[in-house]
Amino acid sequence: MSTTTASTSPTDVGQALINALNNSTSNLTRSLLVMDEDGSFTGKHGSRFILQSYGYLDLRVSLVASLTFPADAPSFESLYPKASLQSLNLFDPLLYQETETAVLDFWNACNDFNQYGISSFWTVFDVTKLLCQNLIDQLTGAGEGSLQGILGVLTSQTYSEPGSENNSEFKGLAQNASSLLSDLSQDANQRASTIQGLATSIASQASKIQATTTEVDAVVNKFGFNSQGHYIAALDFKLAMLQKVLNDKFGVAQTSKENWVSLYYQMRQMCFHKLMSTRKDRELMEASTAVSYIWIPVAGWISGSNAILTEQRNVGMAWAEYQGHIAHKSTDAVKTTFTLIGAVNLLWMQNQVICDKLRSVGVALQEIQSTFAAIGSNLGQAATLMAVADGSVRTSLIANQAAIQAGIAKAVKELQDTLSAVQALITIDSNIQTTGITADIDAPSVYAEETADGNL
**Cβ-contact 357, 55 below 8 angstroms:** yes
Rounded to whole angstroms, the Cα distance separating 9 from 15 reads 9
d(CA 387, CA 375): 18
Please check whether residue 456 is in contact with residue 76, taking contact to mean a CB–CB distance below 8 angstroms. Answer: no
pLDDT for the residue numbered 215: 96
Residue 183 lies in a domain: yes
pLDDT digit string, tens, across residues 366-393? 999 999 999 999 999 999 999 999 999 9
Domain CATH code at residue 125: 1.20.1170
Under a CB-based contact definition with an 8 Å cutoff, are residues 288 and 428 in contact? no
Domain membership of residue 443 (yes or no) is no
State how far Cα 291 lies from the chain centre.
14
Neighbours of 277 (CB within 10 A): 7
Cβ proximity of 204 and 197 under 8 Å = no
Percent of the chain with pLDDT over 90: 56
pLDDT at 355 (0 to 100): 96
158 within domain boundaries? yes
Mean pLDDT confidence for 135-146: 88
Q: Is 263 helix (H, G, I), strand (E, B) or coil?
A: helix
DSSP-assigned beta bridge partners for residue 34: 285
Q: Kindly report the pTM of this predicted structure.
A: 0.84
How many CA atoms does the CB half-sphere of 237 hold within 13 Å?
A: 2
436 is a domain residue: no
Measured in whole angstroms, the distance separating CA 323 from the mean position of its chain's CA atoms is: 33
Structural domain harbouring 22: 13-37+49-431
**Number of domains within the chain:** 1
d(CA 296, CA 350): 11
Q: Put residue 49 in one of left, alpha, beta given phi > 0 → left and psi -120 to 50 → alpha.
A: beta
Buried b (16+ CB within 10 A) or exposed e, 443-455: ebbbbbbeeeebe
> Quick one: pLDDT band at residue 126, thresholds 50, 70, 90?
very high
Is 1 inside any structural domain? Answer: no
Question: Considering only CA atoms, which of 325, 335, 320, 338 is closest in space to residue 223?
Answer: 338
pLDDT of residue 348: 94
Give 440 or 293, the one with higher predicted confidence: 293
- Whole-number Å distance between alpha carbons of 207 and 54: 18
What whole-number distance in Å separates Cα of residue 151 and Cα of residue 428?
A: 39
pLDDT at 385: 96
- pLDDT of residue 38 exceeding 90: no
Higher pLDDT among residues 330 and 79, named by residue: 79
- Note the Cα 353 to chain centre separation in Å: 13
Q: Lowest mean pLDDT of 14-23, 60-69, 253-262, 269-278, name the range.
A: 269-278
Task: Give the whole-angstrom CA distance, residue 335 versus residue 338.
Answer: 5
Whether residue 229 lies inside any domain: the answer is yes
Q: Is 446 within the bounds of a domain?
A: no
pLDDT digits (tens, 9 = 90+) for 215-260: 999 999 999 876 666 898 888 888 888 888 888 888 888 776 555 4
Task: Report d(CA 13, CA 254) in Å as an integer.
Answer: 50
437 in any annotated domain:
no
Lowest mean per-residue pLDDT among 121-130, 299-308, 377-386: 299-308
Residue 308 pLDDT more than 90? no
User: Tell me, what's the pLDDT at 39?
Assistant: 52
Closest CA to 3 of 28, 32, 26, 23: 23
